């Protein structure tokens, strides 16, 4: 029988594999900056390389230390997620799934950054010429979904988070 932690690891690995498979397919079947309309006026595939972070932030200047900083941020995020997951009850399945999905997305973009120095983005949502969401990938989607699930879990369990803080406050006071 598979443990809960084993299942969560499997979720993380599946997110990572699906992300990299999608990036591989895009990079092998499309030319850089090529665009393919899927739903005209709303959704298209656009193959771009993002040297920044989410939504292309920090992509303009290219200081030599930037890839190392972004990689270090990803490593710190993964370590924080692992520690937090370990200290939270396995029974909080929504929280644990949210952390596994988020970590899969972080690792997907981290692996791209290490291998290429940039991240493959290809999903472009827009509404005709009036709205354009920055191009993203499945790892970005996993991170967003994971954080949304984390917020949902925190709404389901606000008393548990408050209880942990009260315990810490009492311990600090020696009560």
Catalytically annotated residues: 121, 140
Q: What are the helix (H) ranges across 30-157?
A: 66-87, 93-116, 138-156
Q: 123, 34 in Cβ contact below 8 A?
A: no
User: Residue 48 forms beta bridges with which residues?
Assistant: 121
Please work out, in degrees rounded to the nearest 5, the angle formed at the alpha carbon of residue 23 by the alpha carbons of 99 and 59.
Answer: 80
137 phi/psi in degrees, rounded to 5: -135, -175
Helix (H) or strand (E) holding 47: strand 43-50
User: Residue 46 forms beta bridges with which residues?
Assistant: 35
Nearest to 70 by CA among 112, 110, 23, 12: 110
């Amino acid at each position: 029988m598979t443990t809960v932690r084993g299942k969560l690891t499997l979720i993380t690995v599946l997110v990572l594999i699906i992300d990299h498979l999608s990036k591989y397919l895009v990079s092998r079947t499309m030319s850089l900056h090529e665009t393919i309309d899927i739903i005209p006026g709303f959704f298209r595939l656009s193959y771009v390389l993002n040297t920044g972070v989410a939504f292309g932030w920090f992509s303009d200047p290219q200081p030599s230390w930037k890839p190392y900083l972004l990689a270090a941020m990803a490593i710190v995020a993964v370590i924080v997620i692992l520690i937090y997951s370990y200290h939270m009850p396995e029974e909080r399945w929504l929280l644990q799934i949210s952390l596994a999905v988020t970590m899969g997305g972080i690792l997907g973009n981290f692996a791209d950054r290490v291998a290429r120095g940039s991240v493959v983005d290809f999903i472009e949502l827009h509404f005709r010429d009036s709205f354009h969401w920055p191009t993203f990938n499945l790892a970005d989607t996993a991170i967003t979904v994971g954080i949304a699930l984390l917020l949902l879990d925190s709404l389901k369990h606000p008393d548990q988070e408050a209880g942990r803080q009260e315990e810490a406050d009492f311990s600090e006071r020696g009560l």
